[in-house]
Amino acid sequence: MSLSCGDIAMSGHDTPIGVFDSGYGGLTILQQLRRQLPQYDFVYLGDNARAPYGPRSFDVVYDFTRQAVLRLFDMGCHLVILGCNTASAKALRTIQQNDLPIYNKERYGIIPGTATSAWSGNRVLGVIRPTVEVIGSLTATRHVGIVATEGTVRSESYTLEIAKFHPDIVVTGQSCPLWAAIVEAGEAESEGAEFFVRKRITQLLDKDPLIDTIILGCTHYPLLINAIRKVTPQHIRIVPQGEYVAASLQDYLHRHPDMDARCSKGGGIHYYTTESPDRFKECAAMFLHEEVQVQHIDL
């Protein structure tokens, strides 16, 4: 099924960078993007009404993610970042390989693999590759742990991607099904949070005691960083994704001046949610430590 244009659009002069997440975790990615690229405009879209994506099938996650990407394209976003590990694991590749060539041909007349346009069309990027690319420089033992949602762990996306770049690294995954819910309930600093964090970190290190680096493979997990550090041996490096995703995007825009030129630079941000705006404001304040204005949107 190809992507096509819809009926929602921003001003013709607005060409922000889109950031999509199934819920609120992508706000930690957005926060780092805005810190590193403050001059750019952004649109954040959270499919909060249908979250969490973690337990859902590949087909459902792909369908939901594709709908969100389409809507962000309709808003003028030529570049969309999937600020969600589950969407990056289960939907990104299919969208990149199957949907984008059709969309770009129908919308811009770009034929994949040919120089039919001065630019490369719309693009969708994920959060897994940027972390994978740098992980080789962060681990000494070459044993890396991944804590993530069940869907991300089962997809083995990190294992497969790391094997491409660093075939000598041993990867061990641990699903943490309650961690995101704990964050969204505002209990990240509670004793209960520490109990569940300790349980999963212990399980991970029992599987592989040689792990010296743990990737936080869910964008909610940076809010649990205090509990994670408290229960994790000091010699183990904890790796949130945000700074690496931001650095990767900055590099991408430098290497693709055609795309950079199409991204508006007014330092603005618009927030959209498929859930209650009041609920989004409440949770966004926990992630961003600031009040936001948000609009409801249907997918």
218 catalytic residue (yes or no):
yes
Query: Which residue out of 77, 176, 218, 263 is catalytically annotated?
Result: 218
- Can you tell me the distance from the alpha carbon of 212 to that of 269, in angstroms, rounded to the nearest whole number? 37
Q: What is the dihedral of CA 175, 179, 180, 184, to 10 degrees?
A: 170
Query: Which residue out of 84, 176, 263, 283 is catalytically annotated?
Result: 84
- Can you tell me the distance from the alpha carbon of 204 to that of 146, in angstroms, rounded to the nearest whole number? 8
Name the token pair of 95: 């969208």
User: In the 3-class helix/strand/coil scheme, how is 121-149 assigned residue by residue?
Assistant: CCEEECCHHHHHHHHCCCCCCCEEEEEEC
Q: How many CA atoms lie within 13 A of 192 on its CB side?
A: 9
Complete DSSP assignment for 224-240: GHHHHHHHS-TTSEEE-
pLDDT in tens, the chain (299 residues): 334 333 334 445 679 999 999 989 999 999 999 999 999 999 999 999 999 888 899 999 999 999 999 999 999 999 999 999 999 999 999 999 999 999 999 998 876 655 555 567 999 999 999 999 999 999 999 999 999 998 899 999 999 999 999 999 999 999 998 999 999 899 999 999 999 999 999 999 999 999 999 999 999 999 999 999 999 999 999 999 999 999 999 999 999 999 999 999 999 999 999 999 999 999 999 999 999 999 999 99
Confidence (pLDDT) at 30 = 97
Q: What's the Cα-to-Cα distance from 195 to each of 23, 198, 207, 219, 241, rounded to whole Å? A: 24, 5, 19, 20, 23
H/E run at residue 69 = helix 58-74
Confidence (pLDDT) at 112 = 60
84 catalytic residue (yes or no):
yes
Confidence (pLDDT) at 10 = 47
Q: What's the Cα-to-Cα distance from 73 to each of 159, 180, 226, 297, rounded to whole Å? A: 30, 28, 37, 14
pTM for this entry: 0.90
Contact 169, 143 (CB under 8 A): yes
